[in-house]
Each structure stands twice: as structure tokens, then as C-alpha cells.
Amino acid sequence: MRTIELMYPHILQQQELPETVAAIGFFDGIHKGHQKVIKTAVSEAKKRGMESAVITFHPHPSVVLKADAKDVKYITPIREKQEILQQMNVDRLYLITFNKELSGLSPQAFLDHFIIGLNIKHVVAGFDFTFGHKGKGNMQTIGQLTRGFFTHTVIDKVEYDAEKISSTKIRELLATGDVTTVQQLLGRPLYLHGTVIDGAKRGRKLGFPTANLQFDSEILLPKTGIYAVKVIYKNESYDAMASLGFNPTFHDENQQRTLEVNILDYSHDIYGKELKLEWYAFIREEKKFSSVEDLIEQMKKDEVQIRQYFKESH
């Protein structure tokens, strides 16, 4: 998959670009609803003997349009987005910088520049996709703006438990720690990449050596707590327990959240290595223990619970 980064106005020449079928949207999370849009574009492209593309944007429009939304977190930051789209056999990713100039384009100007101008012959989008200044263009009116250059398909909502699957719903679930339901909406575990960095090495003294993970600051994490996770390293998958939080037993001051992972039955040195971490289940809230012994006792219980969880879910 080729990633092509664009700003408005781009300088690509329509006649030099392949005829393309494109899925368009912000696609944060690439959940099952987004997947339906993207898969439709990929299969339509195959049918027509064309290339498939995904057109998406960065940063989130709210960063540009709302004064108080500078620190937006993403369910799938760009790297994760690229990985998932690659796995879905998308040929090219158009990554468009969302800025003030872009937000001011009329719906017609937007389509002329980013659809007709990119030689896109068929557009696939969700029923609620909007485009152009203040979102005035939508999938109900797009047919009036094609100038005869492209056709389009509208994908209806995809539901889980009689509710529309949406990035907003996933954000709500992450805020409660419900990574198990998030997995149902994504069709895969929520994951992140992290590099093992130097930590306080406290876990080793407690009998639970942990890997301290440094990760993309743009990634949206679930709420603070203890989780059942899997760690993927060198294509091997390991059951693990993760502590996401502030280590209140050892810290009174409110410092940054850390992510520490105890990989079960694994003792090799992975300092400086990159791991992939998949979230599976919320185990308990983080709490402050009155003694280190109480903390160790609780960690032993957590380990038993997490081993049991993975045993039952295998």
C-alpha cells in the first residue's frame, strides 16, 4: 500500500493517476462499520479492474475547528491505521492534512479537488459522511455534484446489540474500561505498539518483573486499571497482565500515567525492544495499598484471574 500525504491544494495531475475506487471518511478505529465501507471499495475496485484507495484526514477536524480541542487522542493513530488498511488489501492511502483552508472549501470544490482531481471513479462512504464547509455536503446530495465524473455507494449503519457501531461509542466504552465490548465492535482486539523503556524496576523486587512501555502520545487508552492483555513479540503471543495508572502505593503526587506489563512465564531481556500489546479484559480498578505485602497478595490474585480468563477464552 502506498501512502500519499496531501495538503490543499495538492499538485497531483488527474491524468497521471490510476482510475480508482475510494472509501472516504475519518475512520478512527476502523471498526466494523468502517470495515464495511472499505471492503466495499476494495471489492468494487477489483470488479472494475481499478485501484482501491482510502481517503482520510489528519488531524481530527475538531483540532482545527474547536479552540479547546488541541489534544485529541485517536483509537487508531496513523501507524495503526496504515497497518490495518494494508491488511485489508487497500492499494493506496490518501492522507489529507485537515486545516483551515480545507475546512473552508464548498462541497463542490472539495469533490472537484479530492475526488475528480484524484481520478476517483467511484466513491464509497457511510450514510452519515459529510464534506465541505460546515459539513454541508452529504451522501444524500453528492449525486448532484459529481459533474458526471464518478458514481457512489452509500453504506448503511452497522449495528451491534441494536446500536450503531461508532467511534463515539468505542470512546465511551474505553472510558469505562470495557475493552471486551470494544473488541466486538472492532472485530479485533484494540492494540498499541510500545517500546520497553527503563522503569523503577520495582516489579522485579515484588516478584512480578514488568516491562515499562513507551507509546504514541496520540493513542486513546482505556481507563486506569489492571487488564488482561496479550503481548506480541517476534510473532509470538504471550498472556500478560498490564497495569495502566499512577502506582498509588508508591506515589502520592499526581504524575503521568504509566503502562507496565508483566508477561506471564517469560523471563528474557526485552529492554529497548518494540512490543505489540492487545487489550482483552478489565480486571479491576487501580488502588492504593496500605503495605507492599498487600499489593503483592493482590497481584497474585490478579495473575490467577488473568490465567483463568485466558484459559477459558482459548
| 194 located within any domain | yes
Asked if residue 231 is part of any domain, the answer here is yes
Residue-range definition of the domain harbouring residue 52: 2-164
Kindly report the CATH number assigned to the domain that includes residue 85.
Answer: 3.40.50.620
pLDDT tens by residue, 3-20: 999 999 999 999 999 999
Asked if 202 and 282 sit in the same domain, the reply is: yes
Q: Is residue 177 part of a domain?
A: no
SS3 137: strand
Final residue belonging to a domain, choices 148, 164, 180 = 164
- Say whether pLDDT at 152 is over 80: yes
Q: What is the pLDDT, as a whole number, of residue 201?
A: 59
Rounded CA separation 149/290 (Å): 69
User: How many structural domains compose the chain?
Assistant: 2
The verdict on pTM exceeding 0.85 is yes
Asked if residues 288 and 231 have their Cβ atoms less than 8 Å apart, the reply is no
For residue 150, give the C-alpha cell.
464518478
Q: Which of the listed residues 164, 197, 230 is the one where a domain comes to its end? A: 164
Percent of the chain with pLDDT over 90: 83
Q: What are phi and psi of 51, to 5 degrees?
A: -85, 150
Let me know whether 305 and 198 are in one domain: yes
Q: How many CB atoms lie under 10 A from the CB of residue 178?
A: 17
Query: 152 and 8 in one domain?
Result: yes
Question: In angstroms, what is the C-alpha Rg of the chain?
Answer: 22
Please indicate, yes or no, whether residues 79 and 160 belong to a single structural domain of this protein.
yes
Tens digit of each residue's pLDDT (9 = 90 or more) over 250-284: 665 557 889 999 999 998 889 999 999 999 999 99
Q: Are residues 103 and 212 in the same domain?
A: no
Residue 106 lies in a domain: yes
Q: At what angle do helices 179-186 and 167-176 cross, to 10 degrees?
A: 160
84 torsion bin: left (phi>0), alpha (psi -120 to 50), beta (else):
alpha
Do 19 and 149 fall into the same domain? yes
| 200 contacts: CB under 8 Å, gap ≥ 6 | 212, 250
142 and 197 housed in the same domain: no
Question: Would you place residue 69 in the very low, low, confident or very high pLDDT band (cuts 50, 70, 90)?
Answer: low
Q: Which residue has the higher pLDDT, 61 or 120?
A: 120
- Which pLDDT belongs to residue 250? 61
More confident residue, 254 or 155: 155
Spatial distance between the Cα atoms of 216 and 77, rounded to a whole number of angstroms:
8
Residue 226: the pLDDT is: 97
β-partners of residue 277 are 192, 231
Q: Which three cell numbers stand for residue 208?
A: 512480578
| 156 and 194 housed in the same domain | no
pLDDT of residue 255: 73
Query: Quick check: 113 pLDDT over 80?
Result: yes
What is the residue-averaged pLDDT of the chain?
Answer: 93
Return the CATH number at 265.
Answer: 2.40.30.30
The three-point CA angle 142-147-148 to 5° equals: 95
Same domain, 118 and 154: yes
The answer on pLDDT for 153 being more than 70 is: yes
Residues 133 and 214 grouped into a single domain:
no
Rounded mean pLDDT, 243-256: 72
Separation CA 3–CA 12 (nearest Å): 14
**Are 18 and 93 members of one domain?**
yes
Residues 6+ apart with CB under 8 A from 55: 22, 23, 24, 25, 94, 96, 114, 118, 120
If pLDDT is split at 50, 70 and 90, which confidence band does 292 have?
confident
> Do 12 and 85 belong together in one domain?
yes
Q: How far apart are CA 233 and CA 252, in angstroms?
A: 34
Q: Where are the alpha helices (DSSP H) in 187-228?
A: 202-206
